[in-house]
Amino acid sequence: MHVIAPSAFAQDVAVCGYPLSIFFIVVNEFCERFSYYGMRAVLVLYFKYFLRWDDDMSTSIYHTFVALCYLTPILGAIVADSWLGKFKTIIYLSIVYTLGQVAMAVSAIHDITDTDKDGTPDDMTFHVVMSMVGLFLIALGTGGIKPCVAAFGGDQFSDSQEKQRRTFFSVFYLCINGGSLLSTIITPILRAQECGIHTKQSCYPLAFGVPAALMVVALVVFIVGSGMYYKAEPQGNIMMDVCRCIGFAIKNRYRHRSGRYPKRQHWMDWAEEKYDKLLIAQIKMVLKVLFLYIPLPMFWTLFDQKGSRWTLQATTMDGNFGALVIQPDQMQTVNPILILTLVPIMDSVIYPLIKKCGLNFTPLKRMTVGMFLAALAFVCAALVQVEIDKSLPTFPSASQSQLKLLNMGAEPLKVKLPDNVQLELPPNQVCQYLFKTTMYNIYSYRCRITVFILILTKRMYAGKNVLKLECKYSKGLQAIVNSHRNNDANVQMYDFATFSTTFTIRSGSESCDYRREFGFGSSYTFLIHSTFKFGPSCHESISAVEDIKPNSVHMALQIPQYFFITAGEVMFSVTGLEFSYSQAPSNMKAVLQAGWLLTVAIGNFIVLIVAELAKIPEQWAEYVLFASLLIAVCFFFSIMAYFYTYMDPAEIEAQFKKNVDDDKDDRALKQKMNFAKDSVEITNKKYI
């Protein structure tokens, strides 16, 4: 192995027995994880509330992105080991990563295409294209460097620093969870702010811009430590060797498929004509573990929905915890908090207690229990969704339209609708009516002092001298200004991120402030009467009509499902990585790591398929479906685990090496015997 040695200064510098270079790597990892998880925390809300996609579309694109993030590590490992080396791969892909984060931040600036300055982008295609390009670059960057950074950090230690190396990996894992925890707390707060040049909107540019800045810091910090690193030259990729060997075995078996060829004990034995028996034995061990991986994607199908479906579920819940108001995307912080709590509890309390009870709680049994806990988490999510559905208003279906009638007069008003439907509108009230339609038509009814707005599924409005202001997020509100004057009334709104919002109505130099308390998910229509006059009591001429009640189901009800999914993650993911490492040959641990990451990608693709094809109308039913599928998979996995025989790869490799050495000794002995025989014959010939 060729090694590019660091400078003499770097060789001598150590802090507390650790190479100085690893501190740059640890800071780099913390910033990178902050960047990734911070962007990902607000991603599904960006899809829904900025790009205006529905829940299914938002979920599908979210999980497509996550799947790509877990497919690209295979590409990164091949590039690093076969071509560029770990150091250059990290540098180049980090640049790609940074460009992707910047593209995401730019895509969220609504003022770029908001030519009419109404707060809504006029060219949504630009924002969609920019965001998709950004997500692709981020997936390529974060996935490509994923298998390189930890291994590169391990390369900085000498063989005599095994203890320090183990500590480094513990700190490295802590940085991953620390970056995840802080980013999922901070970026939703940034997103909840309002920013913009012409109009104020939820500040997605800031929520994406800060992770982009952290990625720039990560790249700069890593480059600063360049002169201190040990940089191993690429020596070829074991994954490529494994693929070639498997491919040759399949091809050779196909060529000799005739019955006149003797069968072999294992189909990989057909590679013996070209490849070493030790390599074939190692691949057999890897394939045995990969076979167990077949059911595993279903766990990740459920687990990664905490960033999509569960976040969307939280938008319909009440996040007011008294002194603390939790944003829907901040509920994801429960996961890293519980991880940091449950991992030491499991290792130091739960597992030893189970062992003392005389139970053989093997790694595969732990993984089975972890899958069951994840299914239980989705049962909890379904129960919560049932309670949420009870509190939600009736929305128009795809074949319906919603008509909203506003009576801003002081007397009741009778209105006749299509199909001979008659309604009586109370004074200063709003009446909503759902009716079936196949066309998006706007009807205009004018009765005495009534002005109304017709709302259809395409958000089409009609009305005279009416200004409609609608803000949708986890809270929604509407302000209707009825102007009976020649001059225009201007409505301004601020402090919308809080539960208390102030409206300022301006007309020339006069102004009137109206303050209102809101709840998550609520929608109000404010009627400004024709008797409105500016002055200290101006707010008395404004009446509020509650169109949609505030969310009554509290976000705290999501904590049990987060607890079960996190407990399942600890028992499944942590144990699965440990099991894979222990069952992998010494030179193929990266192969199994790539296989493990592939199960995560496949799991996210399953979510994509279900969200786009199943089209289950009730969300609680979809949760039950996923839970049922995982329980079924859990049953089959338990059967596979029961028949699995644990291996000792080191012992198997040692046995093969011993056989190889014995074969070499036998060949050497035969050569010596043949040489002695030839010497005797030559001597006899001389005497003759």
Q: Are 396 and 402 in contact (CB under 8 A)?
A: yes
- Average pLDDT over all residues of the chain: 78
* 192-203: pLDDT as tens digits: 888 888 888 889
Q: How confident is the model at residue 578 (pLDDT cuts 50, 70, 90)?
A: confident
Rounded CA-CA distance 364/384 in Å is: 31
* 7-20: pLDDT as tens digits: 444 444 666 667 88
Q: Coil, helix or strand for 169?
A: helix
Q: Which residue pairs, CB below 8 angstroms and at least 24 apart, start in 17-23?
A: 17/161, 17/164, 18/161, 18/164, 18/167, 18/168, 19/156, 19/157, 19/228, 20/225, 20/228, 21/156, 21/225, 21/228, 21/229, 21/230, 22/153, 22/156, 22/157, 22/168, 23/225
Q: Span 514-527, mean pLDDT?
A: 74
Q: How confident is the model at residue 424 (pLDDT cuts 50, 70, 90)?
A: confident
pLDDT: which is higher, 167 or 500 = 167
Residue-wise over 470-487: b if at least 16 C-beta within 10 A, else e?
ebebbbbbbbbbbbeeee
pLDDT value at residue 671: 59
Fill in the amino acid letter for 297. P
Rounded CA-CA distance 621/379 in Å is: 10
| Lowest-pLDDT range of 89-93, 511-515, 667-671 | 667-671
| Lowest-pLDDT range of 25-34, 479-488, 560-569, 606-615 | 479-488
pLDDT value at residue 419: 65
* 523-552: pLDDT as tens digits: 777 777 767 788 888 877 777 777 777 888
CB neighbours of 488 closer than 8 A, spacing ≥ 6?
Answer: 507
Fill in the amino acid letter for 142. T
CA distances from 49 to 201, 278, 394, 408, 509 (A): 10, 56, 20, 31, 35
Q: Are 129 and 74 in contact (CB under 8 A)?
A: no
- Region for 318 from its dihedrals, namely left if φ exceeds 0, alpha if ψ lies in -120 to 50, beta otherwise: beta
Q: Give the pair of three-digit tokens for residue 615.
A: 């089209």
The winner for highest mean pLDDT among 78-82, 153-157, 558-562, 576-580 is 558-562
pLDDT value at residue 664: 59
| Lowest-pLDDT range of 141-155, 211-225, 293-307 | 141-155
At residue 615, does pLDDT exceed 60? Answer: yes
Fill in the amino acid letter for 94. S
Q: Span 156-182, mean pLDDT?
A: 78
Q: How confident is the model at residue 675 (pLDDT cuts 50, 70, 90)?
A: very low
Rounded CA-CA distance 581/570 in Å is: 16
pLDDT: which is higher, 277 or 305 = 305
The dihedral formed by the CA atoms of 246, 250, 252 and 254, expressed in degrees to the nearest 10: 180
Query: What phi, psi does 146 have (nearest 5°)?
Result: -55, -50
At residue 674, does pLDDT exceed 70? Answer: no
* 211-260: pLDDT as tens digits: 999 999 999 999 998 888 888 777 677 778 888 899 998 998 888 887 77
Q: How confident is the model at residue 142 (pLDDT cuts 50, 70, 90)?
A: very high
Strand pairing partners for 405? 431
**CA angle (608, 612, 616) in 5-degree steps:** 115
pLDDT: which is higher, 555 or 590 = 555
Q: How confident is the model at residue 504 (pLDDT cuts 50, 70, 90)?
A: confident
Q: How confident is the model at residue 609 (pLDDT cuts 50, 70, 90)?
A: confident
**Dihedral sign, Cα of residue 26, residue 30, residue 35, residue 36:** positive
pLDDT value at residue 150: 78
Q: How confident is the model at residue 104 (pLDDT cuts 50, 70, 90)?
A: very high
Q: Are 319 and 592 in contact (CB under 8 A)?
A: no
CB neighbours of 531 closer than 8 A, spacing ≥ 6?
Answer: 541
pLDDT value at residue 566: 93
Residue 496: closest CA among 526, 467, 517: 517
Q: Are 204 and 46 in contact (CB under 8 A)?
A: yes
Rounded CA-CA distance 402/471 in Å is: 18
At residue 454, does pLDDT exceed 90? Answer: no
pLDDT value at residue 47: 94
Query: What phi, psi does 81 have (nearest 5°)?
Result: -80, -25
pLDDT: which is higher, 376 or 485 = 376
| DSSP state letter for 258 | S
Strand pairing partners for 434? 402
Q: How confident is the model at residue 482 (pLDDT cuts 50, 70, 90)?
A: very low
Rounded CA-CA distance 167/170 in Å is: 5
Q: Span 162-177, mean pLDDT?
A: 76
At residue 42, does pLDDT exceed 90? Answer: yes
* 306-345: pLDDT as tens digits: 989 999 999 888 888 877 888 888 898 898 888 888 888 8
At residue 33, does pLDDT exceed 50? Answer: yes
Q: Span 351-376, mean pLDDT?
A: 90
Q: How confident is the model at residue 443 (pLDDT cuts 50, 70, 90)?
A: very low
pLDDT value at residue 16: 67
At residue 399, does pLDDT exceed 70? Answer: no
Fill in the amino acid letter for 475. K
Rounded CA-CA distance 584/574 in Å is: 16
At residue 464, does pLDDT exceed 60? Answer: no
